[in-house]
Amino acid sequence: MTAKVFIDGEVGTTGLQIRARLARRDDISLISLSEDARKSRDARLAAFAAADFAILCLPDAAVHDIAPDLAGLPCRVIDASTAHRTDPAWEFGFAELDAGARSRIAAAKHVSNPGCYSTGAIALLRPMIDAGLIARDHPITINALSGYSGGGKAMIAEFENGAVTGGFVYATGQKHKHLPEIVARAGLTRRPIFVPQVGQFSQGMIVQVPLHLPPGGPEAARAALAAHYAGQHFVRVVDRAAMGERIDPQRLNATNLLEIAVDGDPETGATVLIAQLDNLGKGASGAAVQNLNIMIGCDEAKGL
């Protein structure tokens, strides 16, 4: 059976990459609109009505505007925006979150795709909390580096036309839009300090969480993470050496992989948790396709 899929916002950065992954598949029929029709609410609603699945690749405000009209339609929806990531009515689309995540995604009508930074942060923190290695109210600091594609068309243009050279740190006022979902989905009760930065490269990401743990902390952290992700296809715990002496944020580009390593000093317990991923792969478009596969009921890795 062929699944009919409508990507609302298919010409944006995330939408284009989702479309590229789906266009080569014979089990999916893409519903596309002309440039003029993409601006028509009626045309978009007709596309939603004709679809089995819809993927929203829109700004938050546009999602909130269209979502009420989708409630009565039969199509199942994946939202790639920030709009519903802490909404209990929407299933959080991180299949590796816990043992029941896949079955919840498979049954859900509405799934919220995680953000790129939050995918790395939650992947590191949730197993540590579940294993009791850190408390829910532990003071956490998250440091992250992303390619500029995560900033959307405006930021991409700034880098590619030379208006921005080098990288920069931003959102130091602790209001980054990914913080609420990190708190909610990692199981924290205290908001972490999050310091993101953008580098002069298009795609790729590193997320780091430094921790003061008791002696032996790095080994305990690695054991907890390895146990949590045992048998997973897309999230892997690897030896620190696998990431190279200098960790390249672009190493996993064009994949849906998220690799985790642990480093630090066993004698003091100083520990660094490291996640490496493609911000447009497992951090956006790849995760959306993975969730779609789970909802369809086909091989989770199909097209990835």
pLDDT tens digit sequence for 177-216: 999 999 999 999 999 999 999 999 999 999 999 999 999 9
Report pLDDT digits (tens) over 234-280.
Answer: 999 999 999 999 999 999 999 999 999 999 999 999 999 999 999 99
Give φ, ψ of 100 to 5 degrees.
-100, 0
Q: Is residue 303 part of a domain?
A: no
pTM of the predicted model as reported, rounded to 2 decimal places = 0.96
Residues of the chain with pLDDT under 50: none
Structure confidence at residue 153 (pLDDT): 85
Q: Is 112 helix (H, G, I), strand (E, B) or coil?
A: strand
Q: Is residue 304 part of a domain?
A: no
Q: Which domain holds residue 266?
A: 116-280
Q: Give the CATH number of the domain where residue 196 resides.
A: 3.30.360.10
**CA–CA gap between residue 211 and residue 193 (Å, rounded):** 13
**CA–CA gap between residue 118 and residue 101 (Å, rounded):** 16
Are residues 86 and 122 both part of a single domain? no
Q: Is residue 204 part of a domain?
A: yes
The percent helix, strand, coil of the chain (3-state, each to 5) is: 35, 20, 45
Indicate which residue of 57, 75, 116, 298 is catalytic: 116
Element (H, E) at 283: none
Q: Is 206 helix (H, G, I), strand (E, B) or coil?
A: strand
Q: How far separated are the first and last CA of the chain, in Å rounded?
A: 20
Structure tokens given for 286:
């790849």
Q: Is residue 102 part of a domain?
A: yes
**CA–CA gap between residue 209 and residue 225 (Å, rounded):** 13
Task: Based on the residue annotation, tell me whether 298 is a catalytic residue of this protein.
Answer: no
Number of structural domains in the chain = 2
